[in-house]
Structure 1
Amino acid sequence: MIARLAMELTVIIPTHNPDLRRFRATLEGLRRQTLAPARWQTVVIDNASTTFPVAADYSDVSPANLRVVHEPQLGLTSARRCGFREANTPFIVFADDDNVFAPDYLANVLAIFSAHPRLGLIGGKSLPQFESEPPAWSREFFPLLALRDLGDTEIISNGLRPAGAPQNQYPSCSPIGAGLAARTAALKPWFDRPAALSDRRGADLSSAGDNDIVLCSLRAGWEVGYFPQLSLTHLIPSARLDATYLARLNRGIQKSWMQVLALHDANSWPTISSWSLPLRVAKMWWVHRAWLGPVERIRWQGARGHFEGRVQ
């Protein structure tokens, strides 16, 4: 039996019908971690998968202390909450099933938290490895794909409402969900509050969960930070560069972004009436000239989601 109480860190991997090639690469990246195996564990959350081979043998690529836990309620939030219950360690790292951590990722997580006692959540670089060369027009939308590089300088937030700010603000250095590392104590305010927003759930491309975690932690008095020594590779299949997918993704992200900011008193945009929504969406069709091509259509869908998220 794994002595979980003696461990310091749990890697939680929520997965729903994963691509097995990318999933194996994720596990292999964890297997190569320099942090001593006795100090950490991996918990894979099988989130209502219909094709995921729970009983498959991954011994050739799996890290030490791997467990698979089934969560029948579909949704990323449900899977993360399940992982939180299973962790029972002072620190948690969330990984997607297409993330490959640099070998020193987990060791760096513990070192950073040791040096910065007020930090509750941290993240770093998420760099792409594309299955095929992305079309030039798609580069504008790379941030939608959980890709991020804020440079080579550490950045730490200065609170939820910096001095002189008229309302709460979302720090630009906040970690994204891929590779998000947390003190368990900083995640507890999010875990203890009933889920108020939808997150990724099957084909639903809402994406407010990461932001909700960050804002709950900030409201509890913790700080968040960006550390370039935390680096992961995001394996991106060609289908995620499809214009129709990116349009749906932009709409879902912008809608949920407005909703989570409003929930935490951090939205500078006022609410709008539902009757005005069709008019605003139609206007944005013309403003963005959505008929011209994929870039314009994706921008328009983002504007559409923005207004949908502001409906009172």
Structure 2
Amino acid sequence: MSIKLSVIIPTYNPDADILGQTLQALKVQSLPSSEWELIIIDNNSTPAVKVDLQWHPHATIVKEPNQGLTYARIKGFEEAKGDVVVMVDDDNILAADYLQHALQLLENRPALGAAGGKSLPEFKAEPPVWIKDFYGNLALRDLGNEAVTGKWEGCYPGFAPIGAGMIIRKTALKNYIRHINEGARLISDRQGQSLGSGGDNDMVLNILKDGWEIGYFPQLVLHHIIPANRLEYRYLARLNKDSFKSWIKVLHIHGINPWKKTSRWSVPLRKLKLWFTQRAYVGKANFIKWQGYCGMAEALADL
């Protein structure tokens, strides 16, 4: 039987226990393993990633020495044999019917290029009361129980899929992969100390602008493991700042940035003003939000 679907898991120095949970969820998928392959992309881990994949007839570990999530994903796309690609992070726990739904959705909807669903939290420590304000930063989302689809309308859709669990028709990735390989631009996710995350957005915009539909489908459900260190406010502040910087860059590249370029000399003054307007001194949540706006100020000056 031919491979219909490819699961791609990019990973860099993974937590062995959490990656084990991700793989365990894949072991119990309702879609027969003969119909899908598993590709783990070892993105320069030290030591190299070693996991038992004997349970799967079409599983492999591929190395990608170029550091960065975008490079790892591109390597996975190029290795994939399936017509459908499912992007899985190394801390995602897919529902047992996830792959089956993914395949059915793209087989039944020929205009659909990419889609996502619910990414629900599995916290490993008690989260702060304000954490929901930053669910988007943590790749968490629940848009309800109604499906939503749409095409390119000159802006970024609020229902656009996030990277965690995104399902993609491989043919819809053709131009995106070409842009990256030609060096035309690179919106790099998670590279070095950067926590930027614009690669997902760049991918979605390329798919939309190529004429494909995208969608949100509530039957696609995964749980995202959030360890204690990712709930620490200084981490979230840095995450929010880098995410805003990536977001502005993506919007600018795609010609849909609504904000004007600012002067580099004005950045410190803008940050000081934002300190007060965002009341960053009041509490941790306000401080995190302020850092996001600081990232925006820096990005607009760098355009």
Is the pair's TM-score, using the shorter chain for normalization, greater than 0.5? Answer: yes
Deviations 1:53-92 (A, max 9, x none): 43x4354xx5442100011111001100110111022110
State the identity %.
Answer: 45
Query: Where do residues 1-312 of structure 1 align in structure 2 (5 Å cutoff)?
Result: 6-54=2-50, 56-59=51-54, 62-157=55-150, 159-161=151-153, 168-194=154-180, 195-311=185-301, 312=303
Distance (Å, rounded) in 1 between the aligned partners of 2:300 and 2:138 = 23
Secondary structure class of the residue paired with 1:182: strand
CA distance in 2, matches of 1:199, 1:100: 21
In structure 2, distance between residues paired with 1:276 and 1:196: 27
Cα RMSD (Å): 1.3
Equivalent pair of 1:28/1:63 in contact (CA under 8 Å)? no
Contact conserved, 1:199 with 1:207, CA < 8 A, in 2?
A: yes
Letter in 1 for 2:148: I
CA contact (8 A) 1:121 1:225 kept: yes
Q: Which amino acid aligns with 2:94?
A: F
Task: Verify the 8 A CA contact 1:27 1:63 in the aligned structure 2.
Answer: no
Letter in structure 1 aligned against 2:132: R
SS in 1 for 2:120: strand
In the aligned structure 1, how far is the partner of 2:57 from the partner of 2:222? 20
Query: Which segments of 5 or more consecutive residues in structure 2 lack a partner in the other structure?
Result: none
The size of the alignment, in residue pairs, is 298
Listed as ranges, the gaps of 5+ residues in structure 1 are 162-167
Q: Secondary structure at the match of 1:127?
A: strand
For 1:310, what is the secondary structure of its paired residue?
helix
Q: What is the rounded CA distance, in whole Å, between the counterparts of 2:261 and 2:275 in structure 1?
A: 20
Moved more, 269-278 or 179-188: 269-278
Contact 1:30 1:63 in 2 (8 A): no
TM-score (norm 1): 0.92
Shift of 1:275: 2.1
How far residue 52 of structure 1 moved from its aligned partner, in angstroms, is 4.1
